[in-house]
Structure 1
Amino acid sequence: MKTKQRIIGYDFARAWAMFGMLIVNFTVITGAEGNGPAWLRAFTSLFEGRASALFVILAGIGITLMTKRAVASGDQLVIKASRQKIWKRSMFLLALGLLLYTLEWTGDILHYYGVYLFLAAFLIVVNSRWLVGLALGFLVVAQFLQLRYNAFEGWAGPVPFMNYADFWTIEGFARNLFFNGYHPLFPWFSFFLIGLWLGRMNLQEGRIRKRLLLISIAITTTVEVLSKVLIHISTPWIGTEASTFLFNTGPILPNVLYILSATGTAIAGLILCLYVTERWANSRMVTAIVHTGQLTLTHYVGHVVIGIGFLVLIGRLTNQSLAFALIYSVCFFAFSIVISVVWRKKFSRGPIEWVMRKVTE
């Protein structure tokens, strides 16, 4: 029973991560950023870079759980088969993400996922300490690259961070993937590595959960306070723009402080979701949200094709208010829940999840 609860806890967390992603993406795509009262701006900013971080961490956990039995067997042929399955899925996600990119969805995360999975296949047998060390290494390299090179190269106007001019060239694609895209390998693969590490922990044990929750809250609180202090102290010396660039905890640009803070909030949110599903496992609402989390790949594609497509149809794609973007996000999430509940009555997997498994088995 506990194993099941653990799994549905991850699905529950995945659904809420998707909700946060909807808020961020619909806010950006409708041009609603900053177009609302202060309290609403503060609320929507809570999800920026946090929902996606939780998504990536959950993906890392999923890979660890998927390969756990193969790794424990120590059989090199079984481990090789697991790697091949991961590589097939990585190619599927890469292709699907690039297909969405052709629809001018420049905020795609799936093609990055494909690369994360490809690299993760090599690491399924690596010692846990090495995973944490690699995560820190990717973070340090990312910070060096941001300080050494122009982090805004390739992005073209008139709307900031909406059009990557040379994405379909070798140089532009590599720059976007490794350095300054929405979820570049440096440092976003750090989240995935943390997920691989977390997947090896027994989160069914209350003591471990409590410790992780307290540590994650402490990390985020400390980093956020440190960020404010460093910005305040450094601004008179280097200016507001430079101090924000170096010490902000927002996702653009994803510096050391952002990764640490977002990791803390993601782990805290995950632990809380595990508690909720353990306490109210038989709740209809919890079950509905769990089903939604099990179909997140389908819903992700749906929010691009259907969600943004509908905005185009009704002429509400630009110059919208934050209130409209938030209401639209809530409505689309509710729509996703209803679709998930109906679908799961007849099918065990979402349509795109089913296709991926058929193609990659």
Structure 2
Amino acid sequence: MEKQNRVRVVDFGRGLSVLMMIPIHVLMLFATVDTWENSFTGSFGQLLERGSPSFLIAMGISFAFSKKSNRNGILKKALLIIALGYVLNFLRFIVPILFFGGFPQSFVEASGLEMSNIKVMMDYLLKGDMFQLVGLSLFLIGLSYNFLTKNKYVIIILCLAILWLSKTVSGIQLGIPVIDYLLTLVWGNNFDVYFPLFPWMAFILIGLFLGLNYQEKNNYVNKGLALPSLYIGLIFAIIGKLLCDYNYEYHFGDYYHLGPGGALGLMGVLLVMLWIIYHIERLLPKDNLVSKLFFYCSKNVTKFYILQWVLIYWLLAFTSFSMCSELTVISIIIGINIGTFGLLYLLNKALISRNERKKRTLQATI
């Protein structure tokens, strides 16, 4: 029984992190400052925002025991994910400008994203976000995958090195446009990139370490995954808290471009949460509705991420930016959830029908 919990607990945690996306993103784009800072919904959204990197840890764990974990498979998957990132940028930023008449004036004033400003449009098309982070991280892991899987403690060293250097290298540029763009994705310190590799790749690496450790412990999730998450998490959380108390501005500062203490502390808290989720998932009945929902979201994470962002930005084109009260924000969250799950159902149904037609065609030719 213990061995069977492996996929369940990882998918449970990843599914939970997927469901955090819509409330966070809706609040960021639609809520007034007062709603974000002084309402229960805003406080809850800020809490969820801190928990969103749990998706990266879960991805690293599941990556370790993926059947496609070989060098060529990893590199191909990485390039596909990077490409999807730019497709998403086109859908959510450029399509509303070209086909919906642009964004509301309040958003244009805040972002400068308007049809007449080609440079800003290109900046948004090339903006670094979660897909760029995941894709580039997997690409780098893929290049050294055989070495890392045989030397799992090197992963811990790399993880800590990335965390510790995150502020030291932050914002370094060479004055060469193409190189500088790549450096922005790696350690940028402005909002041309929301999730630079330094420090966020470290969250994927710690997940990879835990996944490999789980395999070495004969697939026993408590000894191989849950308990190491608790022990490492407590150590990281304590050290991170002490560093942030010593110099908060340096070690935490901007959430999207964390320093070493902030990233280490956040990682520690999320690892402890993974241990808690493991025990919660074990107590739930095997076929309960909550787990089924989380597993469904985990299985469809890529499609879910794309659909919810597209719906949010397309809705923004017809409404207002940062102008909605708490009740209106809650209504938008509910509406985006209904729209995302509805489109996800239709998309999956269409894909199943297409695969069945291909199968029938192949059988007819044999």
Fold similarity call, TM over 0.5: yes
Hey, what does 1:239 align to over in structure 2?
Answer: none
CA distance in 1, matches of 2:134, 2:63: 12
Q: Does 1:261 align with 2:265?
A: yes
Name 2:20's counterpart in structure 1: 20
Pairing 1:15-164 to 2, within 5 Å after superposition: 15-30=15-30, 32-36=32-36, 37=38, 39-51=40-52, 53-66=53-66, 82-102=70-90, 103-104=92-93, 106=127, 108-125=129-146, 126=148, 127-146=151-170, 149=171
The aligned counterpart of 1:288 is 293
* 8 Å CA contact retained: 2:6, 2:221: no
Cα distance change on mapping 1:213 and 1:174 into 2, 3 Å:
closer
Aligned match of 1:235: none
Gaps of 5+ in 1: 71-81, 154-165, 231-242, 352-361
Distance 1:274 1:28 in 2: 30
Shift of 1:194: 0.6
Displacement of 1:170 after TM fit?
1.6
Deviation of the 1:257 alpha carbon: 1.6
TM-aligned CA deviation for residue 331 of structure 1 = 4.7
Query: Can you give the 5+ residue segments of structure 2 that lack an aligned partner in the other structure?
Result: 94-123, 356-366
CA RMSD of aligned residues (A): 3.5
Which segment drifts farther, 8-17 or 333-342?
333-342
Deviation for aligned residue 1:3: 4.7
2: distance between equivalents of 1:19 and 1:113? Answer: 19
Higher relative contact order (CA 8 A, sep 6+): 1
Report the secondary structure of 1:44's partner residue: helix
Tell whether the 8 Å contact from 2:163 to 2:198 is kept in structure 1 after alignment: yes
The answer to whether the 8 A contact 2:63-2:208 is kept is yes
> Are 1:227 and 1:249, in contact at CA under 8 Å, matched by a contact in 2?
no
User: Offset of 1:34 from its aligned partner?
Assistant: 5.0
| Structure 1 residues 339 and 319: alpha-carbon distance in aligned structure 2, compared to 1, 3 A threshold | same
Q: SS at the partner of 1:199?
A: helix
Q: TM-score, normalised by structure 2?
A: 0.71
Query: Contact (CA 8 Å) 1:48, 1:251: kept in 2 or not?
Result: no
| Identity level (%) | 18
Conserved in 1, the CA contact under 8 Å of 2:28 and 2:322? no
Note if contact 1:245-1:253 (Cα within 8 Å) is conserved in structure 2: no
How many angstroms apart in 1 are the aligned matches of 2:345 and 2:3? 22
Q: Which amino acid aligns with 1:177?
A: L
Secondary structure at the aligned position of 2:169 is classed as helix
User: Is 1:173 the counterpart of 2:181 in the alignment?
Assistant: yes
- Which residue is 1:187 aligned to? 199
Structure 2 vs 1, CA of residues 33 and 254 (structure 1 numbering), >3 Å: closer, same or farther?
farther
Output the CA distance in 2 between the equivalents of 1:88 and 1:8: 26
**Aligned partner letter, 1:292:** C
Report the CA distance between 1:87 and its aligned residue: 0.8
User: Within 2, Cα distance between the matches of 1:282 and 1:342?
Assistant: 24
